[in-house]
Amino acid sequence: MLDLFDPRFREEKLHDSFRLITAAPDYKKVQPVIQAWATGMLDRKGESQKFVNEFQTTFNSSMWEIYLNQALRDLGCSIDFSKSAPDFVARGHGNYEFNVEAVISDQRPTVSQRKTFDEQDFKMRGALKLAGKIRDKLDLYRGSNVKKHPYSSMSHVRGRPFVIAIAPFDSSLSLTQNNELINMVLYGLAPPVLHGPDRGKQGRISSILKASGSPVQMGIFTNDSFKEISAVFFSTVGTFGKAVVESKIEKLVRSTRYRLIDKRNIEPNPKHWQLGTHRVQLAPLDYLVRERRESETHIGGADMHVRHSSFHHETHLDGFQVYFNPFAEVPLDQKFPWPPEVALNYYDVKSGEHVQAHPDGALVSRQVYDIRPEFIHLLLGTYGFLRP
């Protein structure tokens, strides 16, 4: 198998993340993790050399495909690498076959990050990029833009589910968006209210205006306009950071996990389900913020950790989300044997509601930092462990 980490270009052409992995001694353990994730991909005739070149020079899109390759294997699938397109021709349990096309919303190398942060602008631009990339892949399927061999004409694609796997890499903050923007793009959900009596409630959003003033449709899975797409796979943690935490090198990890329990299943006086916000230090460099709120039948919220990587654990599929298209011509089988950490998302056509089948403890977000005083103070200050 080709070595992903044998540099092929002058240093100035190498991507910053690739240089970091190959040059920094403490990242040496990350290399075999990523190399193992790529098993099978680098044997693809006519594609492997190009793939390694892109991994070293542009990185993010290749890293996403490498993550997906391992994710599909963890889902119990085999990949037919004799097919050059779409990216993954997968066969799961019971010889169930489906196709996956990978894409990221990346930024152009020449684009510089804005000096001032505007949250509303960040969200609108991020949603537009996700919607645009999904539209691009739908065009590949349909044969728009005069594509000679559209995916829909391929015998191994026709009549089988077509899934788009997308991840956001369009800014330095893109991986902090959780699932808020993909919810907007696919199911037309506005960002939730964060404070006050309406906390958690979400309105509807049907379109966003581009800089040119033309509208871009949101809620593309709430009607049949994208019926060729069976489902979307999404993650903000299927990244280089996951390889870092799987390699067990010493880092500082900030993570958020979704929490939910039926009130009938709560034991008497359980401190970890007490309503409100509670902060606790569990060990040296292991801090936890619990947020809990009550509905009629459940108690839900989030666990937010700031901890040394030795306290942190996540599986490869932690943070993996599936969004089903209820209008799909060829639906992705909802009875597929999803592992327990996978979060499933449905749209109820009759009620117009987003139905979240997210397991208790589902990983929502995760970032990795060097263990340095400035990062420790920043994170502990952010979560209220340090006085102003």
- The pLDDT, as a whole number, for residue 268 is 79
194 and 297 housed in the same domain: no
Tell me which residue range forms the domain holding 254: 250-313+360-388
- The pLDDT, as a whole number, for residue 198 is 63
- The pLDDT, as a whole number, for residue 18 is 94
Q: pLDDT digit string (tens) for 42-69?
A: 888 778 899 999 999 999 999 999 999 9
306 and 374 housed in the same domain: yes
Domain boundary among 237, 263, 285: 237
- The pLDDT, as a whole number, for residue 122 is 83
208 and 272 housed in the same domain: no
**348, pLDDT greater than 60:** yes
Entry pTM: 0.93
Query: pLDDT band at residue 119, thresholds of 50, 70 and 90?
Result: confident
217 and 272 housed in the same domain: no
206 in a structural domain? yes
Q: Which two tokens stand for residue 236?
A: 């903000």
- Note whether 236 and 273 are within 8 A (CB): no
304 and 373 housed in the same domain: yes
8 in a structural domain? no
- Mean pLDDT, rounded, for 18-26: 91
208 and 297 housed in the same domain: no
- Mean pLDDT, rounded, for 166-176: 79
- On average, the pLDDT of the chain sits at 91
Q: What is d(CA 326, CA 347) in angstroms, rounded to the nearest whole number?
A: 7
Query: pLDDT band at residue 145, thresholds of 50, 70 and 90?
Result: low
**124, pLDDT greater than 80:** yes
Q: pLDDT digit string (tens) for 289-337?
A: 999 999 899 999 999 999 999 999 999 999 999 999 999 999 999 889 9
- The pLDDT, as a whole number, for residue 193 is 64
**221, pLDDT greater than 70:** yes
- The pLDDT, as a whole number, for residue 43 is 85
Q: What is the tally of structural domains in the chain?
A: 2
200 and 307 housed in the same domain: no
349 in a structural domain? no
113 and 167 housed in the same domain: yes
208 and 299 housed in the same domain: no
Q: Is the dihedral of CA 311, 315, 320, 322 positive or negative?
A: negative
Strand ranges, E, within 218-333: 231-234, 252-262, 276-283, 286-294, 298-308, 321-324
Sheet holding 78-79, edge to edge: 78-79, 88-91, 97-106, 162-169, 231-234, 321-324, 343-348, 353-357
- Mean pLDDT, rounded, for 22-34: 92
256 and 232 housed in the same domain: no
Rg, the chain, Cα only: 21
User: What share of the chain has pLDDT > 90, as a percent?
Assistant: 78
Q: Which residue did the predictor score with more confidence, 89 or 193?
A: 89
